[in-house]
Amino acid sequence: MSSLFKSIKQGLNEAVEYERGNLPDVKIDKITIAPLHNYTADEIKTIRAQNSMTQKVFAEAIGVSVKTVEAWETGTNRPSGIANRMLEFLTKDDGLFERFSIVARN
């Protein structure tokens, strides 16, 4: 029997024993992920304005096109996935762009 097979078999046996309640000392970390907020056009405009940025600068800072920011702010399109998470970070941390050297203000 190969060592890889033995390792997989041992892991599966341990999983079965855990499910049966036979491994009470096993530590399990449970992770909960906050749901993504769906930002409205007005919320996006507010986030951009709070960062004192034009649509062009804001788009460059978050890594999307100006057309994308325009579409978000007019309600034509809505951000999804990582863009929503980035917007959430920006609402929770006023200095995010500067702290991570994404934006330097002169």
pLDDT, one tens digit per residue, over 28-56 is 788 999 999 999 999 999 999 999 999 99
CB 66: neighbour CB atoms within 10 A?
Answer: 14
Examine residue 105 and state whether it is found in any structural domain, yes or no.
no
Residue 14 CA from chain centroid, whole number: 32
Examine residue 64 and state whether it is found in any structural domain, yes or no.
yes
- pTM for the model: 0.72
Of the candidates 21, 19, 96, the residue with the CA atom closest to the CA atom of residue 61:
96
Kindly list the distances between the CA atom of residue 5 and the CA atoms of 18, 19, 60, 93, in Å, as whole numbers in the listed order.
20, 21, 49, 48
φ/ψ of residue 80, rounded to 5: -140, 170
Counted domains in the chain: 2
Same domain, yes or no: 24 and 67: no
Task: Using a pLDDT cut of 70, give the percent of the chain over it.
Answer: 99
